[in-house]
Amino acid sequence: MLEVVPLKAFKDNYVWTLRNATHAAVVDPGEAGPVLDYLGREKLRLAAILATHHHADHVGGIPALLAQHRVPVYGPKHEPIATLTRPVSEGDRVEIAELGVSFSVLDIPGHTRAHIAYYGAGALFCGDTLFACGCGRLFEGTAEQMVASLKKLTALPDDTKVYCGHEYTLANIGFAKNVEPGNAALAARELRDRKLRDAGKPTLPSRLADEKATNPFLRCGEPAVIESVNKYLGSRVSDPVRVFAAMRDWKNNS
């Protein structure tokens, strides 16, 4: 069983840290400090660094980690990350022998041009593409790409644990309630996640099945979602990409 520990970075980033008794690998170390502290405290050796996309709050800590640990750095082949030593894209596998785990790489463009995800051991590390009850902004990609990327992720097994890059869940749920006020699963999720935050705990990982039931960006074909989006737009659209694009715009402006 893979143990995954959230290390907090900046205001609301998580550096997901995969570990066993002796080694660790980190996903998206935007800052080195929390990782170096943890490795020192737990007496762990770093085995690998994995990056999902090129934004500084996901890769900024890599040089300082490499200064102390000479380890392979995996990341998207088609993004400008100077510290990568193992560029990967869809179809590649990432083997971390020290942890006895391997991941397949998925191309999920949209938030950035060549964003990737790592999937293995029932866990999905999806950076800033799929968030708990939300999704990333379209900085470099199109709505069409993001819809295709999200569709690829939702094809994974329902019990997949979703480890995303930020603790945005409660704010995302707030927006989701505007889109789908009658969604009972969403109301239940809000109660549960609010309790977690009140106790100072992460709301992550989430379960893919819960995302499918509550995340409005994965529900662009639901009549209630289409209805709300049309009300926002003041015109009638039903094509999932146009519904998605309008909802993304709505959230950006709310």
Contacting positions for Zn ion (CB under 5 A) = 55, 128
Active-site residue identified among 28, 57, 193, 210: 57
In angstroms, rounded to a whole number, what is the distance separating the alpha carbons of residues 70 and 77? 20
Q: Is 223 exposed, middle or buried (0-12, 13-18, 19+ CB in 10 A)?
A: exposed
Distances (CA, A) of 238 to 59, 173, 245: 38, 23, 11
Q: Is 57 a catalytic residue?
A: yes
CB of 89 to Zn ion, least distance (A): 18
User: Of the two residues 55 and 251, which places its CB atom closer to Zn ion in the complex?
Assistant: 55
Our answer to whether residue 78 is catalytic in this structure is no
Closest approach, Cβ 168 to Zn ion, in A, equals 12
| Closest approach of Zn ion to the CB of residue 55, in Å | 4
Query: Which member of 53, 54, 69, 115 is catalytic?
Result: 53
Q: Quick one: 77 or 177, whose CB is closer to Zn ion?
A: 77
Q: Which residue out of 23, 54, 111, 115 is catalytically annotated?
A: 111
Using the minimum distance from each CB to Zn ion, give the nearer residue, 110 or 216. 110
For 90: left if phi > 0, alpha if psi spans -120 to 50, otherwise beta; the answer is beta
Active site residues: 53, 55, 57-58, 111, 128, 166
